[in-house]
């Protein structure tokens, strides 16, 4: 501990609202603790990796993420493929769920029959954001906020997004009456 009698308390010149300040040295115990933390840095950096045990923090983090994914796959937004989305169209239960999701959340903007209203026609071949099953899934999941299409992955469960994508795919080619004119490029080669 610093001995008070070894030095005079030195008052600094300035004064703010009657508050004045000493310019005393930091206590020695404080300084030594500070130097010790600096010395600890290289040890802390080098010991776990590459000299010490284990694979290092990054590898440990990645391993625990992989373990968590394996333990609860349903918690992690699954990546879907074109084939899986097309296959879902053959599943009546999924289509029924997709229809229910669509009627509750999408019909107001895209019309119950998909013919388009505020949002574009979903029954034609023309797509602003791409017409492959995964592209349509992506548009539904992340939305187009600037144009008023909400990001549905925040509001629906991943299975519901998949189901409503399958339902939208099933609407393509249904030719509802009074559709909104096509928007966006149609596929170069006919489907």
Is the CB of residue 78 less than 8 Å from the CB of residue 158?
Answer: yes
Is the CB of residue 128 less than 8 Å from the CB of residue 138?
Answer: no
Q: Which of 97, 115, 119, 180 binds ligand HEC (CB under 6 A)?
A: 119
| Shortest spacing between CB 39 and ligand HEC, in angstroms | 58
What track of x and - describes contact with ligand HEC for positions 64 through 103 (by CB under 6 A)? -------------------------------------xx-
Q: Based on the shown chain and the rule CB under 6 A, indicate whether residue 138 belongs to the binding site for ligand HEC.
A: no
Dihedral sign for Cα 130, 177, 98, 93, please. negative
Q: Which of 144, 157, 174, 187 binds ligand HEC (CB under 6 A)?
A: 144
Q: Which of 100, 128, 142, 172 binds ligand HEC (CB under 6 A)?
A: 128
85's tokens: 């989305």
Distance of CA 85 to the CA centre of its chain: 22
Is the CB of residue 73 less than 8 Å from the CB of residue 66?
Answer: no
| Shortest spacing between CB 155 and ligand HEC, in angstroms | 8
Q: How far apart are CA 155 and CA 35, in angstroms?
A: 52
For residue 143, give the nearest of 132, 124, 128 by alpha carbon: 128
| Shortest spacing between CB 164 and ligand HEC, in angstroms | 5
Host H or E run for residue 19: strand 19-22
Sole window of 8-16, 57-65, 77-85, 116-124 interacting with ligand HEC (rule: CB under 6 A): 116-124
- Give me the residues that bind ligand HEC (CB under 6 A), please: 101-102, 105-106, 108-110, 118-120, 122, 127-129, 136, 139-140, 144, 147-150, 152, 164, 168, 183-184
């Amino acid at each position: 501990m610093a001995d008070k009698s070894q030095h005079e308390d030195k008052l600094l010149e300035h004064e703010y609202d009657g508050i004045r300040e000493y310019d005393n040295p930091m206590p020695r115990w404080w300084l030594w603790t500070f130097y010790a933390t600096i010395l600890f840095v290289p040890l802390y950096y080098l010991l776990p990796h590459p000299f010490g045990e284990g694979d290092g923090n990054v590898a440990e983090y990645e391993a625990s993420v992989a373990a968590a994914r394996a333990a609860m796959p349903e918690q992690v937004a699954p990546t879907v493929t074109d084939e899986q989305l097309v296959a879902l169209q053959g599943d009546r239960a999924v289509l029924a769920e997709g229809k229910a999701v669509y009627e509750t959340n999408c019909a107001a903007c895209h019309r119950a029959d998909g013919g388009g209203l505020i949002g574009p026609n979903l029954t034609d071949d023309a797509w602003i954001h791409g017409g492959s099953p995964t592209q349509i899934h992506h548009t539904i999941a992340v939305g187009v906020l600037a144009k008023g299409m909400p990001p549905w992955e925040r509001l629906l469960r991943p299975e519901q997004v998949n189901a409503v994508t399958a339902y939208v795919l099933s609407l393509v080619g249904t030719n509802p009456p009074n559709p909104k004119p096509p928007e966006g490029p149609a596929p170069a080669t006919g489907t």
